[in-house]
Structure 1
Amino acid sequence: MDTDRTSLIIHVGQELQARSGGRWPATVHRVCNPVGGERSRARLSFAFFVS
């Protein structure tokens, strides 16, 4: 997905799960916030899907 600094990406997985009655389950996401001097570094996100 190509984006720029003015883009907003919204994850709607949990909303779709709730509205579909669980038919389309959301992926579990775990994020650790950086601490100290690491706060200014960019983070990477990786999705892992299991069916």
Structure 2
Amino acid sequence: MTAVSQMKCACDSCLCIVSPNEQAVQKDGKYYCSDACASGHSNGEGCGHTGCDCN
């Protein structure tokens, strides 16, 4: 069996790819690229990654 090494951030509007075993922020069993995405952009901020306009 092969483990997943990369996946899309669980935020619907985000374009980022995360590695569940490394830098991902885990919340409710999902993996996000940043605290902003994991919190549902509660303060209206984006993830801050170049080229991504999520909110």
Q: 1 or 2, which has the higher strand percentage?
A: 2
Q: 1 or 2, which has the higher helix percentage?
A: 1
With normalisation by structure 1, the TM-score equals 0.20
- Of structures 1 and 2, the one scoring higher in RCO (CA 8 A, sep 6+) is 2
With normalisation by structure 2, the TM-score equals 0.20
Larger Rg: 1
